[in-house]
Amino acid sequence: MAIPVSYTRSQIGLHWLIAALVFFQIFFHNGIEELWRARMEGSVPNEPSPTPHTIAGLLIFVLMIWRVVLRLRHGAPPPPVDEHPALRFLAAAVHVLFYVLLLGMPLSGAVAWFGGFALPAQAHGVAAKVLIALVILHVVAALAHRFWFKSGVMERMVRPG
Protein backbone atom coordinates (compact mmCIF):
# COMPACT_ATOMS: atom_id res chain seq x y z
CA MET A 1 0.00 0.00 0.00
CA ALA A 2 1.29 3.43 -0.92
CA ILE A 3 1.76 5.93 1.90
CA PRO A 4 -1.13 8.43 1.70
CA VAL A 5 -0.47 12.16 1.83
CA SER A 6 -3.95 12.89 3.19
CA TYR A 7 -7.04 11.14 4.47
CA THR A 8 -9.90 10.01 2.22
CA ARG A 9 -13.23 11.85 2.16
CA SER A 10 -14.75 8.97 4.14
CA GLN A 11 -12.03 9.11 6.79
CA ILE A 12 -12.44 12.88 7.14
CA GLY A 13 -16.22 12.64 7.28
CA LEU A 14 -16.09 9.92 9.92
CA HIS A 15 -13.59 11.92 11.97
CA TRP A 16 -15.90 14.93 12.15
CA LEU A 17 -19.10 12.91 12.59
CA ILE A 18 -17.58 10.94 15.47
CA ALA A 19 -16.18 14.18 16.94
CA ALA A 20 -19.67 15.73 16.84
CA LEU A 21 -21.16 12.66 18.53
CA VAL A 22 -18.43 12.71 21.20
CA PHE A 23 -19.15 16.39 21.90
CA PHE A 24 -22.84 15.54 22.16
CA GLN A 25 -22.01 12.77 24.64
CA ILE A 26 -19.76 15.04 26.70
CA PHE A 27 -22.22 17.92 26.95
CA PHE A 28 -25.51 16.02 27.21
CA HIS A 29 -24.67 13.05 29.46
CA ASN A 30 -26.34 14.31 32.65
CA GLY A 31 -29.71 12.76 31.82
CA ILE A 32 -28.25 9.28 31.53
CA GLU A 33 -26.33 9.70 34.80
CA GLU A 34 -29.48 10.75 36.64
CA LEU A 35 -31.47 7.87 35.15
CA TRP A 36 -28.67 5.42 36.05
CA ARG A 37 -28.65 6.63 39.68
CA ALA A 38 -32.43 6.33 39.85
CA ARG A 39 -32.27 2.78 38.46
CA MET A 40 -29.56 1.78 40.93
CA GLU A 41 -31.44 3.34 43.88
CA GLY A 42 -34.64 1.60 42.83
CA SER A 43 -36.69 4.76 42.34
CA VAL A 44 -37.33 3.76 38.71
CA PRO A 45 -37.62 0.20 37.38
CA ASN A 46 -34.28 -1.42 36.52
CA GLU A 47 -35.26 -1.73 32.89
CA PRO A 48 -32.89 -0.24 30.33
CA SER A 49 -34.46 1.84 27.64
CA PRO A 50 -32.89 3.49 24.64
CA THR A 51 -31.87 7.07 25.32
CA PRO A 52 -30.16 9.62 23.08
CA HIS A 53 -26.91 8.88 24.98
CA THR A 54 -27.11 5.12 24.41
CA ILE A 55 -28.09 5.55 20.75
CA ALA A 56 -25.21 7.99 20.16
CA GLY A 57 -22.80 5.63 21.96
CA LEU A 58 -23.81 2.68 19.81
CA LEU A 59 -23.55 4.86 16.70
CA ILE A 60 -20.02 5.89 17.75
CA PHE A 61 -19.12 2.21 18.10
CA VAL A 62 -20.41 1.33 14.62
CA LEU A 63 -18.73 4.36 13.04
CA MET A 64 -15.45 3.54 14.81
CA ILE A 65 -15.52 0.01 13.38
CA TRP A 66 -15.97 1.56 9.93
CA ARG A 67 -13.12 3.98 10.69
CA VAL A 68 -10.79 1.13 11.71
CA VAL A 69 -11.62 -0.72 8.48
CA LEU A 70 -10.86 2.41 6.42
CA ARG A 71 -7.62 2.99 8.34
CA LEU A 72 -6.50 -0.59 7.66
CA ARG A 73 -7.53 -0.32 4.02
CA HIS A 74 -6.21 3.18 3.21
CA GLY A 75 -3.66 3.89 5.94
CA ALA A 76 -2.92 7.32 7.34
CA PRO A 77 -0.49 10.03 6.35
CA PRO A 78 2.79 9.95 8.25
CA PRO A 79 3.69 12.67 10.74
CA PRO A 80 5.75 15.59 9.47
CA VAL A 81 9.34 14.50 8.74
CA ASP A 82 10.80 17.21 10.95
CA GLU A 83 8.59 16.43 13.95
CA HIS A 84 10.47 15.59 17.14
CA PRO A 85 10.39 11.83 17.97
CA ALA A 86 8.78 12.56 21.35
CA LEU A 87 5.90 14.36 19.62
CA ARG A 88 5.54 11.49 17.14
CA PHE A 89 5.31 9.05 20.03
CA LEU A 90 2.80 11.22 21.88
CA ALA A 91 0.64 11.63 18.77
CA ALA A 92 0.66 7.87 18.15
CA ALA A 93 -0.16 7.13 21.79
CA VAL A 94 -3.05 9.62 21.82
CA HIS A 95 -4.51 8.15 18.64
CA VAL A 96 -4.27 4.59 19.99
CA LEU A 97 -5.98 5.74 23.19
CA PHE A 98 -8.71 7.41 21.14
CA TYR A 99 -9.37 4.17 19.28
CA VAL A 100 -9.35 2.12 22.50
CA LEU A 101 -11.68 4.53 24.30
CA LEU A 102 -14.04 5.12 21.38
CA LEU A 103 -14.44 1.37 20.91
CA GLY A 104 -14.35 0.42 24.59
CA MET A 105 -16.61 3.09 26.03
CA PRO A 106 -19.68 2.09 24.00
CA LEU A 107 -19.08 -1.51 25.08
CA SER A 108 -18.69 -0.65 28.77
CA GLY A 109 -21.67 1.69 28.56
CA ALA A 110 -23.82 -0.96 26.88
CA VAL A 111 -22.84 -3.63 29.41
CA ALA A 112 -23.59 -1.22 32.27
CA TRP A 113 -26.83 0.11 30.81
CA PHE A 114 -28.37 -3.03 29.36
CA GLY A 115 -26.94 -5.39 31.99
CA GLY A 116 -27.39 -3.13 34.99
CA PHE A 117 -23.78 -3.63 36.16
CA ALA A 118 -22.06 -0.99 38.31
CA LEU A 119 -18.40 -1.83 37.63
CA PRO A 120 -18.56 -1.22 33.86
CA ALA A 121 -20.47 2.00 34.63
CA GLN A 122 -17.64 3.16 36.90
CA ALA A 123 -15.05 2.26 34.25
CA HIS A 124 -17.15 4.14 31.70
CA GLY A 125 -17.13 7.23 33.91
CA VAL A 126 -13.35 7.12 34.39
CA ALA A 127 -12.85 6.58 30.66
CA ALA A 128 -15.06 9.61 29.96
CA LYS A 129 -12.72 11.82 31.98
CA VAL A 130 -9.69 10.43 30.14
CA LEU A 131 -11.47 10.99 26.82
CA ILE A 132 -12.21 14.63 27.69
CA ALA A 133 -8.52 15.18 28.52
CA LEU A 134 -7.52 13.54 25.22
CA VAL A 135 -9.96 15.69 23.26
CA ILE A 136 -8.48 18.83 24.81
CA LEU A 137 -4.93 17.63 24.10
CA HIS A 138 -5.91 16.71 20.53
CA VAL A 139 -7.46 20.13 19.84
CA VAL A 140 -4.48 21.96 21.36
CA ALA A 141 -2.07 19.83 19.30
CA ALA A 142 -4.04 20.46 16.10
CA LEU A 143 -3.97 24.20 16.75
CA ALA A 144 -0.24 24.05 17.58
CA HIS A 145 0.41 22.25 14.29
CA ARG A 146 -1.60 24.87 12.45
CA PHE A 147 -0.33 28.08 14.07
CA TRP A 148 2.97 27.22 15.79
CA PHE A 149 4.60 24.48 13.73
CA LYS A 150 2.78 25.37 10.47
CA SER A 151 3.16 21.71 9.51
CA GLY A 152 0.01 21.19 7.44
CA VAL A 153 -1.18 18.40 9.75
CA MET A 154 -4.49 20.08 10.50
CA GLU A 155 -5.19 20.69 6.84
CA ARG A 156 -5.02 16.94 6.13
CA MET A 157 -8.17 16.45 8.21
CA VAL A 158 -10.18 19.08 6.38
CA ARG A 159 -9.10 18.52 2.75
CA PRO A 160 -9.08 15.06 1.19
CA GLY A 161 -6.02 14.02 -0.78
* Per-residue pLDDT, 157: 85
| CB 11, CB 74: distance < 8 Å | yes
Q: Is the pLDDT of residue 126 over 80?
A: yes
Q: Is the pLDDT of residue 152 over 90?
A: no
CA distance 99 to 9: 19
pLDDT, one tens digit per residue, over 37-63 is 998 898 988 788 889 999 999 999 999
Identify the sign of the CA torsion 144, 148, 153, 155.
positive
pLDDT bracket for residue 67 (50, 70, 90): very high
pLDDT, one tens digit per residue, over 76-101 is 999 998 999 999 999 999 999 999 99
Residue 78 to residues 38, 50, 93, Cα–Cα distance (Å): 47, 40, 14
